[in-house]
């Protein structure tokens, strides 16, 4: 400030300088004047620029980066319901005199819920007794009639059983006789078949001659085959001796030796092979002559034998058919007799029918109705609560008649209650079973010390979680709705910033970090845009990670919108 005043005094002295008007101005004096005017102009422009800069530059407040934990305050509205409800059933068709309890009121065991018209009760009880008497008389008459019908059916069944036994016995005997006759016919056929032909006195001279000729031809053939085999062995021996003597080693040499030896034995080999062929031909002719003779002899001697054998076989076939017919007849006779027996048996089993069971059920139900009405008459028409609890619903009014669904529902206080609420996934992730919560149940009453019993994914929507809190029976004054509240503290994060220090371009988040740099005009303060990732956040702060660390100052508030590289003025 003192330096600025000194400069102003120097400039005043310069302007107050007087030249000698009598002397002619020199070029140096003119230059000095122009220089002074230029400097004055520069000072004015600088002051103007400083003033404009002080108006346009953004003023910001900053905060430092610190570590810490975040606290989430979670609230959720839900409903309260009983863990167990007791249904007080009231018989249908009864006239209501007065209703003593309303939905939402607490009752004790034995408290009167409603009163029934005693005169109407007496009339209903008398009517029910008369109807029960009629049902009992009908059941008695029917039992007597069924006893008579049962005796008749038993007699019919006994006769049907006797007829069935007689039919089965007779059919079995017929089958047994037919089977025995069939087996006798088969035995006679097999005995004759195994006895063979009776032509034992046939002349065997020709047969013996033919057999002898075959034997001779066979011997001649065997001799010829043996001679041929010996000759082949002799040839093979000669080949081996010659190969060994000549020292033949290659395949070609051995083949040449073999061809030479076979050529020497060619005539003998041909004669031996011809002898085998001739002997074989003679043997075949002898065999053919013997076979033809045997065929002719057998045909002549077997004619009578085969005719008699066929007669026995035909008789066996007839007996076999008769046996099959006896089996079929027995099956049909037994089937018919069995049907008659089954019909008679079904007649005796009609005592325990569906209609009789229905009648018995009707009589039991009527007896129960009489018992219920009698109990109500004994109680003076008063319907009372079976336990302590909260009346959930009373679907009847005074002057009305009870219907089939006129049951009064009471929440059993001894079983306790439960609070249920739905949470979105982003909130439910902070909670778990066992967490302690507080429950605002209305009437400026808050129940503390309750714990979350379960928190599970909804079956209908995977992004929704169902939370359940058990409320013990000692808690009273409950209503249908309540509000749950709980505070959850997260783990400690390295970098936490106020929520209003965060900025977003639609997808990513970033903060403005204060930077300082030296310029020709001095030290300038600017902002740098740094992208960060949000790890967690609540209504006030956010835990982040990215290019921000300890010791850095980030912009908290600004008088103007900021961009990367903007100059700012930091205010306390």
pLDDT for 520 equals 60
| CA separation for the pair 14, 35 (Å, rounded) | 11
Q: Is the pLDDT of residue 294 over 70?
A: no
* Structure tokens given for 492: 């400690």
Q: What is the SS3 assignment for 544?
A: strand
For residues 94 and 114, is the Cβ–Cβ distance under 8 A? no
* Structure tokens given for 25: 């101005």
Q: What is the SS3 assignment for 458?
A: coil
H/E run at residue 372: helix 354-378
Q: How confident is the model at residue 465 (pLDDT cuts 50, 70, 90)?
A: very high
Q: What percent of the chain has pLDDT over 70?
A: 81
* Closest by CA position to 397, among listed 90, 94, 99, 91: 99
Q: Is the pLDDT of residue 365 over 50?
A: yes
Q: Is the pLDDT of residue 468 over 90?
A: yes
- The total number of residues written for the chain in this structure: 572
For residues 373 and 128, is the Cβ–Cβ distance under 8 A? yes
| CA separation for the pair 149, 501 (Å, rounded) | 100
- Using DSSP bridges, classify how beta strands 464-471 and 445-457 pair: parallel, antiparallel or unpaired: antiparallel
Per-residue pLDDT reduced to its tens digit, 34-83: 888 788 878 777 666 665 565 678 888 988 888 889 888 888 889 887 77
Mean pLDDT over 371-397 rounds to 82
| CA separation for the pair 386, 372 (Å, rounded) | 16
Collect all residues with Cβ–Cβ distance below 8 Å to 87 and sequence separation of at least 6: 407, 408, 409, 410
pLDDT for 224 equals 76
Q: How confident is the model at residue 411 (pLDDT cuts 50, 70, 90)?
A: confident
pLDDT for 421 equals 92
| CA separation for the pair 385, 410 (Å, rounded) | 8
* Closest by CA position to 495, among listed 456, 445, 530: 530
Q: Is the pLDDT of residue 334 over 50?
A: yes
- Using DSSP bridges, classify how beta strands 417-424 and 436-442 pair: parallel, antiparallel or unpaired: unpaired
Q: Is the pLDDT of residue 4 over 60?
A: no
Sheet of 408-412: strands edge to edge? 85-88, 408-412, 389-393, 106-107
User: Could you say which DSSP state residue 204 is in?
Assistant: -
Q: How confident is the model at residue 150 (pLDDT cuts 50, 70, 90)?
A: low
β-bridge mates for residue 439, sequence order: 447, 484
| CA separation for the pair 10, 279 (Å, rounded) | 166
H/E run at residue 290: helix 266-348
State residue 352 phi and psi, 5-degree precision: -95, 70
* Structure tokens given for 7: 């400069």
* Structure tokens given for 442: 């209305």
| CA separation for the pair 318, 348 (Å, rounded) | 45
Q: Where are the alpha helices (DSSP H) in 196-265?
A: 205-246, 251-264
């Amino acid at each position: 400030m003192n330096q600025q005043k000194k400069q102003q005094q120097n400039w005043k002295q310069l302007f107050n300088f007087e030249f000698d008007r009598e002397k002619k101005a020199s070029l140096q004096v003119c230059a000095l004047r122009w220089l002074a005017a230029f400097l004055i102009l520069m000072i004015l422009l600088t002051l103007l620029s400083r003033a404009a800069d002080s108006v346009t530059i953004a003023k910001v407040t900053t905060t430092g980066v610190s570590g810490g934990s975040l606290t989430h305050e979670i609230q959720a509205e839900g409903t309260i319901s009983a863990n167990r409800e007791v249904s007080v059933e009231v018989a249908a068709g009864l006239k209501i005199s007065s209703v003593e309890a309303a939905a939402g009121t607490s009752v004790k065991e034995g408290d009167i819920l409603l009163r029934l018209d005693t005169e109407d009760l007496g009339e209903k009880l008398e009517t029910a007794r008369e109807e029960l008497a009629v049902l009992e008389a009908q059941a008695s008459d029917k039992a007597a009639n069924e006893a008579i019908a049962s005796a008749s059916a038993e007699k019919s069944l006994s006769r049907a059983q006797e007829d069935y036994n007689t039919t089965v016995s007779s059919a079995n005997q017929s089958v047994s006789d037919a089977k025995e006759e069939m087996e006798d016919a088969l035995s006679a056929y097999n005995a004759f078949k195994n006895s063979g032909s009776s032509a034992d006195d046939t002349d065997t001279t020709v047969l013996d001659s033919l057999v002898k000729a075959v034997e001779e031809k066979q011997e001649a053939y065997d001799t010829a085959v043996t001679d041929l085999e010996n000759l082949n062995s002799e040839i093979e021996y000669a080949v081996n001796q010659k190969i060994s003597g000549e020292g033949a080693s290659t395949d070609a040499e051995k083949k040449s030796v073999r061809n030479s030896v076979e050529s020497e034995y060619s005539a003998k080999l041909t004669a031996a092979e011809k002898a085998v062929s001739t002997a074989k031909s003679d043997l075949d002719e002898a065999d053919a002559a013997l076979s033809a003779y045997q065929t002719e002899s057998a045909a002549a001697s077997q004619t009578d034998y085969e005719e008699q054998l066929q007669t026995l076989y035909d008789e066996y076939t007839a007996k076999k058919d008769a046996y099959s017919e006896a089996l079929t007849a027995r099956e049909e006779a037994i089937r018919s007799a069995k049907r008659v027996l089954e019909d008679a048996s079904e007649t005796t089993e009609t005592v325990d029918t569906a209609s009789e069971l229905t009648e018995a059920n009707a009589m039991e139900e009527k007896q129960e109705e009489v018992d219920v009405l009698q109990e109500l008459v004994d109680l003076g028409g008063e319907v009372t609560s079976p336990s302590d609890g909260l009346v959930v619903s009373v679907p009847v009014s005074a002057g009305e008649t009870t219907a089939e669904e006129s049951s009064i529902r009471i929440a059993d206080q001894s079983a306790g209650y439960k609070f249920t609420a739905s949470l979105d996934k982003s909130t439910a992730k902070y909670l778990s079973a066992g967490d302690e919560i507080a429950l605002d149940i209305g009437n400026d009453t808050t129940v503390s010390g309750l714990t979350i019993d379960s928190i599970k994914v909804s079956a209908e929507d995977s992004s929704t979680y169902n939370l359940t809190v058990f409320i013990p029976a000692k808690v009273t004054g409950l209503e249908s709705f309540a509000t749950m509240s709980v505070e959850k503290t997260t783990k400690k994060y390295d970098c936490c910033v106020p929520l209003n220090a965060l900025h977003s371009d639609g997808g990513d988040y970033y903060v403005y970090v204060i930077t300082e740099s030296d310029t020709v005009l001095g030290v300038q303060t600017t902002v740098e845009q740094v992208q960060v990732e949000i790890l967690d956040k609540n209504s006030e702060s956010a835990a982040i990670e990215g290019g921000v660390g300890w010791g850095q100052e980030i912009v908290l508030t600004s008088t103007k919108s900021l961009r990367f590289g903007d100059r700012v003025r930091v205010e306390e």
